Structure 1
């Protein structure tokens, strides 16, 4: 797929209410970034530098866009930064997910991406652990990580993951989008509360499809994570800088 001539940041998940992206675009523009709202159909022409994707209850099929992008080999390499935008576009939260992978896992692609991110370089020289948080375990993911030299530690609920993670401090984490007790975004936010686990790369595993009820449930779970005050320009840009580093 062809990269856009201007390395733009696209804000997506807004549908016809493009005015909801005005605040984010202004924040990014003031920091020297080219940003605009866009629709999935525009990806047929070229790809942006990254996509900032609204997954709030006011999003226009943000979850569907996420699944479509990450399920398509032509677009799955595009970096996605999930956001929570209010009904009028105020920034409620930024979720620094390291990456998304669809299930069943594409082993060679997972290996390629981890190497591109520099996360497989030290596994041969050091005893490193990767945590896998799923309801039943994902044998294919375990196999790939083991092949790369990681010791895989399994957790089956969010609470178990927090208990283990704060003790062993895994090198990176892979988590199903929905667990029995927590959503992946909520689990990541809990890990961000602890200094020793705050910066662990956190990857989310996606199913092939999500029912409408599941999408609504995930949007509501994110809604509970948003602070009562909206992010200022400085706060948003600090999150953006860390997430896009």
Structure 2
């Protein structure tokens, strides 16, 4: 819509209430506002449990439409015009990821990103910044997972989202080891890499953590058999736990019988005798990250 003779050339913005109108254009303002509200009301949240939802936040409806076209075959895109209600919307629909524009009126993307990362319910949702502003340092310092400078290419956006999906597979990690110092060091390294970590020092605590924490991956010390293999036996019989992968810590080569007992769960073997503590931590981090990308 373009304004009439009193406001020649002024276009209705995504937020028409921000434009100063003369009385002769109040009707157009009303129509534009209703159209914007109707657009928002049409963003239906899917109810299918396994649907991957992307929350697209932008002040430009055309930009949201482009994201819908790019991602429609793989995801359900829920559009939100502007960032005022971003945190509440994210809490409501629990998206797999959020795409976020920076240059928006009233509340810009930087402020939205800060709010998302400061709220416990939304801080773990990956945010991909999509903006004409090329300030990746600012974006990453505020917690953005990815940063793409507009114009956005479909293949690149899909690639970034697929990478985030894979990383989600191993988001929660349980460390089971009877050495507190080693556990703390491993936990610190993985937490710095933005994994959620919980720890256990014996098989009883490990079982409780598996039941309550529901880890995606277990780092398990096999040097103390009554800890390591007790946990493995529990995983064999516990409902929904048999496919949890393992990275094992050991001080010797595993025998064929031990490997058979692990039943193909092993994704990595770290020898605590051969590796220094520094190398052990480095190899652990690299192994987990490779699993996330595979």
| TM-score band, normalised by shorter chain | 0.3 to 0.5
Q: Which has the higher helix share?
A: 2
Structure-2-length-normalised TM-score: 0.33
Structure number, greater radius of gyration = 2
TM-score normalised per structure 1: 0.38
